[in-house]
Structures are given as C-alpha cells and as structure tokens.
Amino acid sequence: MQNDPRTNAPATSDAGIEPARDPDAAPGLPGRANYTQFAQRYAQMAPEKPHNALYERPATAALLGEVAGLDVLDAGCGPGIVSAELARAGARVHAFDVTPAMVELARSHCAGLPVEVAQGDLGQPFAWLAEGRFERIVCSLALDYVEHLAPTFAEFRRVARPGALLVFSMAHPMRDWIDTRTHGGRSYFETTRFGLHWAGFGEPKPYVEAYRRPLADIVNALTASGWAIEQLVEPQPRPEMKAVAPRLHAELAQAPAFLCVRARRLP
C-alpha cells in the first residue's frame, strides 16, 4: 500500500487531515482496512495530488533511475500508478497490494501494459515470488503500514538479484514526531500506531492508521537485512507545486514530509 501518497499524508494542514487518536488500536496490519474504505476515490485523486505527483513520486523515480528492460517489483502498488509509469518506461513489472479493491484497480489501470498484479501482504512472506527475480524493487509510501520492517526488508533481499536496487519512501520520522497527533505523548524512540481521519477524499472521511518509528529503527532494519544504503533523500517540492498549492510548497520547502532511500543488495 501507499500513503496520500500514496498520501500517507503527513499531519499537515494542506494534506487535509483531521485529528483522531487510537494509540492502543487492535493488533493487525492496517493497510487493507485503510484503503478498502476509499479505494476508488483514492485512485481518482492520487495521480494529481501535489503530495504525490509533485513531491514523493518524482523523488522516488529519480532514485530508481532507468528501468528499461529490467524486472521490477512494485510492492504495495495501490491503484497501479507507479506500476504503469514503470511499464511505460520499458520495465517488466510485477505488482502487489494487500487491498483487493486496489488490486482490481491496478489491473484495470495497467491493462495492456507488461504488468502482472497480485494480492499480497508486505508484512508476510512473499511466498508466490521466486528468489532472485528482480533487478529493481520500489515501495512507495507503503512501509508505514508495517509494524516490523526487518522481515519485509529480508523478503525484498530474497526476491532481489545480487546488486539489485531497492528504493522506498516513508513518512519522515521527525516530521511525524513534531505533530503530537502522531505520537500521542509517547517517546520518540517508540514505534507508535496512530490514526487520523483524512479529509480531501470526500465523505465519509476515511480513518487511516499507520506506524511512526525512529529513524534508527528504519536504517538498522534495512542494513541488518543485507542492504547497503546508497542515498538518502529528504525531498524538496517541485517548483510547479508553488502555482497549484502555494502553502503546501512553502511548508515542504521548509521541512520534509517524507524520506526516500536507495539501497543496494549485498552479496
């Protein structure tokens, strides 16, 4: 899954979030429940949302680089926006998402393109995927819905070829920490499950849950799973955002909402 962006919208006024808290929510991965509520609305709006189109997606694409002729995994593909872009750039894409409605939307969006779409859970083994299959893996704002990152990074390594690249984006840990709605009074060093009602996607407003965790937990889980970090980016908004969302542009130019990482699979 992705956030809005896909928007796993950070707690900013321009993202259209209303505060709500459930720090002791029932266990279980939140991704499927999140997007089942508003999959169609999300698919219609996310392609043009400034957080997505003019901020996170360009930063992630720049880290991913050329993909023509490569086998690429789009993990947490949502409605297939990134999958379609990769396929049009010449990649052979396998995509998966935990939400059945998103899987169907992705299949429709990618019809006629070299994209196969499956239903799968980022928090579980990718049992349907063979070892060493992919030269690139992209995971766009979906890992915020996974409580324990190390097993997922290990699965990414298993299905990656030696030397393959993993590019992922997540909510920025410090940005989320600054907003009291996301940490609920708990320590920065804890992994906290929080929920917010998202406005901006129509009614009823979906209640979206995610995890906020310290930066060290992200980095250490990645490197312990056999990945070497090549580049870490705190994105800047695209200049054209200033015309369509000036307040959001000013906010993101002052402090990042997301974190984008490129890592290479170790032997």
Taking all residues of the chain, what is their mean pLDDT, rounded to a whole number?
A: 88
8: in domain: no
CA dihedral sign of residues 86, 88, 92, 95: positive
166: in domain: yes
Which two structure tokens, joined as six digits, stand for 172? Answer: 């920025």
Confidence band, pLDDT 50/70/90 cuts, at residue 24: very low
Which two structure tokens, joined as six digits, stand for 101? Answer: 């409605």
6: in domain: no
Most confident of 4-8, 84-88, 202-206: 84-88
pLDDT at 238: 97
5: in domain: no
Mean pLDDT within 126-148: 97
**Who contacts 17 (Cβ-Cβ below 8 Å, separation ≥6)?**
9, 11, 181, 196, 197, 198, 199
99: in domain: yes
Report which of residues 135 and 210 the model is more confident about: 135
**pLDDT of 19 strictly over 50:** no
Please write down the HEC assignment for all residues of the chain: CCCCCCCCCCCCHHHCEEECCCCCCCCCCCHHHHHHCCHHHHHHHHHHCHHHHHHHHHHHHHHHCCCCCCEEEEECCCCCHHHHHHHHCCCEEEEEECCHHHHHHHHHHCCCCCEEEEECCCCCCCCCCCCCCEEEEEEECCHHHCCCHHHHHHHHHHHEEEEEEEEEEEECHHHHHHCHHHHCCCCCCCCEEEEEEECCCCCCCCEEEEEECCHHHHHHHHHHCCEEEEEEECCCCCCCHHHHCHHHHHHHHHCCCEEEEEEEECC
Domains held by the chain: number: 1
Mean pLDDT within 68-88: 98
Query: Looking at 36-45, 129-138, 177-186, which range is the least confident one?
Result: 177-186
pLDDT at 1: 41
pLDDT at 31: 63
Mean pLDDT within 153-168: 98
2: in domain: no
**pLDDT of 26 strictly over 70:** no
Mean pLDDT within 111-121: 98
Domain CATH code at residue 140: 3.40.50.150
1: in domain: no
CA dihedral sign of residues 170, 175, 181, 186: positive
pLDDT at 6: 32
Domain range for 90 is: 13-265
**pLDDT of 67 strictly over 80:** yes
3: in domain: no
Using alpha carbons only, give the angle 33, 52, 25 rounded to the nearest 5 degrees. Answer: 25
**pLDDT of 36 strictly over 70:** yes
What share of the chain in percent tops pLDDT 70?
88
